[in-house]
Amino acid sequence: MKDLQSIKQRFGIIGNNEELNHAIDIAVQVAPTDLSVLISGESGTGKEVFPQVIHNYSARKHGPYIAVNCGAIPEGTIDSELFGHEKGAFTGATDSRKGYFEVADGGTIFLDEVAELPLSTQVRLLRVLEAGEFIRVGSSKVQKTNVRVIAASNIDVVMAIDKGRFREDLFYRLNTVPIRIPSLRERGEDIILLFRKFAVDFAEKYRMPAIRLDSEAKNMLLHFAWPGNVRQLKNITEQISIIESDREIRAVKLKSYLPDYDGVRLPAIIKKEDDKSFSSEREILYKILFDMKGDMNDLKKLVYDLIEHNDMNVAFDGPNARVIQNLIREKKNTTATGPEATETGSVDFKTHAARTDIQDTEEIVEESLSLADKEVEMIKKALEKYNGKRKLAANELGISERTLYRKIKEYGIE
């Protein structure tokens, strides 16, 4: 077993958290094999370091190592990037080109944000994992490759499978050996160690004394939620190192660099799938239709009240005037032969409403029921709610950020 401290020193891993040490231990143990590895963890936790550990302690260490961010490559070119293409395969393909799987033959390829891959690309990747084969875009020739695949994702892949966004068979091929990287808020005193390391690094970089924290400021770091994890801590340390003239940072000053700090780290609230969130575009439409149905029933009840208390002598106008007029016409034409009829031949609406359910009448709805229009409306509302932040808006709508970007472009939403 390799010395844990020497591994940390070689790859720049800071911290003594037990779960972090366990992740390093698994990486080193699985390195000599050719098993696929799936690394999970929040964005900014340092997942990109572990594929390097696995590659450098494997028999493939002298072979190529390629890291690919699947979420950064446009959907239309991802197949070409991964598997290559032939000349003339598509517009702009003036020459044949090798893909990453061809270039990395005999080595390791790291697929970061693998859950962002389109389903068609996932099928191609599954073939590589199962048979070591791939076909260039625009070709019919099957090519062989000997590549070890290490993947990482910052989202729950099992949930992506339930939503139909990730293939279950591919998940089991990638997840032969799972490695979970703990978030920064789970690592306790490692936060202070990392801050100190970053402070020293930036002091050397900018040729100035290193910043240090008083005890209250240290306690504040330990109680902050760190949604951006190690990446956020590094960014804040750099900001303070450059901006603050006083090298000893107190809690009051540090608080101005910690967004939404409330002094208490509460458990994270995870929204359920049915808690005002949508798992598919179809559910968005269903929600809108059910809301419209409820609004119409409320409107009918209101009209019945108006008819009863105003002796049906009410002038109605506005966008729902025709619907209201239809309801009045229905009541006027009701025959007084049922048990609700009074001596004058009119209808006792109070008794009628109490004994029977309100039935649907002819409804003329002025607003559009187009699915595309409703999509545009919901996307605009989500973007407005989160001040144009697409990632948060995509989470609210239950779609990927890439899909949201595509729809914004497709519908011309500003």
Rounded Cα–Cα distance for residues 190 and 220 (Å): 14
pLDDT, residue 173, reads 95
Any idea what DSSP says for residue 393?
H
Q: Between 409 and 336, name the one with better pLDDT.
A: 409
Same-domain status, 30 and 173: yes
Identify whether 269 is part of a domain: no
In angstroms, how far is CA 69 from the centroid of its own chain? 16
Q: Is the pLDDT of residue 3 over 90?
A: no
Q: What percent of the chain has pLDDT over 70?
A: 77
Q: What is the structure's pLDDT at 89?
A: 86
Q: Residue 361 domain-assigned?
A: no
How many structural domains are present in the chain? 4
C-alpha 209/C-alpha 119 separation (Å) is 51
Output the pLDDT for position 340.
47
Mean pLDDT across the chain: 83
Q: Which residue has the higher pLDDT, 342 or 413?
A: 413
Q: What is the pLDDT of residue 185?
A: 94
Tell me which long-range contacts 345-351 makes (C-beta under 8 A, separation of at least 24): 349/304, 349/307, 349/308, 350/308
Note the pLDDT of residue 324: 60
Domain endpoint, select from 182, 214, 247: 182
Helical packing angle, 229-243 and 190-206, nearest 10°: 40
Q: Which of 56-60, 324-328, 350-354 has the highest mean pLDDT?
A: 56-60
What are the backbone dihedrals phi and psi of residue 126, each rounded to the nearest 5 degrees, phi first? -60, -40
Let me know if 96 is exposed, middle or buried by CB neighbors in 10 A (0-12, 13-18, 19+).
middle
**pLDDT of 124 higher than 80:** yes
pLDDT band at 260 (very low <50, low <70, confident <90, very high): confident
What is the per-residue pLDDT for 336?
A: 45
- Is 195 contained in some domain? yes
36 within some domain:
yes
The CB density around residue 179, as the number of other CB atoms within 10 Å, is: 23
Q: Could you give the CA distance from residue 339 to residue 351 in angstroms, rounded to a whole number?
A: 9
- Could you tell me if 190 and 106 lie in one domain? no
Distances (CA, A) of 269 to 260, 265, 272, 275: 16, 12, 9, 11
Distance, in Å, from the CA atom of 348 to the CA atom of 346, rounded to the nearest integer, reads: 7
Is the domain of 38 the same as that of 159?
Answer: yes
Strands of 96-173 (E only): list them: 108-112, 133-135, 142-144, 148-153
pLDDT value for 271? 45
The CATH number covering residue 382 comes to 1.10.10
Report d(CA 103, CA 354) in Å as an integer.
76
Please, which residues have CB within 8 angstroms of residue 179's CB and are 6 or more apart in sequence?
23, 26, 27, 37, 38, 39, 40, 50
Identify the domain boundary among 308, 327, 355: 355
Q: What is the pLDDT of residues 89-102, one digit of tens each?
A: 888 888 999 999 99
Question: With left for phi above 0 and alpha for psi between -120 and 50, is residue 292 left, alpha or beta?
Answer: alpha
Taking Cα atoms as reference points, which of 214, 213, 212, 202 lies closest to residue 242? 202
- The whole-angstrom separation of Cα 91 and Cα 68 is 24
Least confident of 1-15, 249-263, 272-286: 272-286
Choosing from 164, 182, 200, the residue where a domain stops is 182
With respect to residue 94, please indicate whether it lies within any of the assigned structural domains: yes
DSSP-assigned letter for residue 367? S
Query: Is the pLDDT assigned to residue 51 strictly greater than 60?
Result: yes
Residues 343 and 397 in one domain: no
Phi-psi label, residue 276: left if phi above 0, alpha if psi -120 to 50, beta otherwise: left
Least confident of 14-18, 180-184, 205-209, 300-304: 300-304
My answer on whether 378 and 238 are in the same domain is no
Which of 243-257, 287-301, 390-404 ranks highest by mean pLDDT? 243-257
Percent of the chain with pLDDT over 90: 58
Alpha carbon distance 226, 229 (integer Å):
5
d(CA 388, CA 322): 38
Confidence check: pLDDT of 187 > 90 = yes
On whether residue 277 sits in a domain, the answer given is: no
With a cut of 90, say whether residue 351 has pLDDT above it.
no
Q: Quick one: pLDDT at residue 262?
A: 64
Query: Is 128 in the same domain as 204?
Result: no
Burial class (CB in 10 A: 0-12, 13-18, 19+), 195: buried
164 and 206 belong to one structural domain: no
Q: Please state at what angle helix 4-11 crosses helix 49-56, rounded to 10 degrees.
A: 120
Instruction: Mark whether 177 and 217 lie in a shared domain.
Output: no
Residue 179 DSSP code? E
Q: Are 169 and 28 part of one and the same domain?
A: yes
Compare 413 and 85 and report the one with higher pLDDT.
85
Distance CA 237, CA 251 (A): 14
pLDDT of 105 over the 50 cut: yes
CATH value at residue 129? 3.40.50.300
Is pLDDT of 252 > 50? yes
Instruction: Sort residue 123 into left (φ over 0), alpha (ψ -120 to 50) or beta.
Output: alpha
The pLDDT of residue 113 is above 90: yes
pLDDT tens column, 278-336? 445 666 776 777 777 777 777 777 777 766 665 455 455 555 566 566 666 665 565 44
**More confident site: 303 or 50:** 50
Asked whether the whole model's pTM tops 0.75, one would answer no
Cβ(177)–Cβ(186) below 8 Å: no
- What is the b/e burial string over 316-353, where b = at least 16 CB atoms within 10 angstroms of the residue's CB? eeeebeebbeebbeebeeeeeeeebbeeeeebbbeebb
Predicted confidence at residue 283, as pLDDT, reads 66
Asked if 113 and 8 sit in the same domain, the reply is yes
Print the domain residue range for 314: 294-355
Q: Which residue has the higher pLDDT, 91 or 134?
A: 134
276 falls within a domain: no
Is 103 found in the same domain as 12?
Answer: yes
Assigned domain for 267 exists: no
Whether residues 322 and 191 share a domain: the answer is no
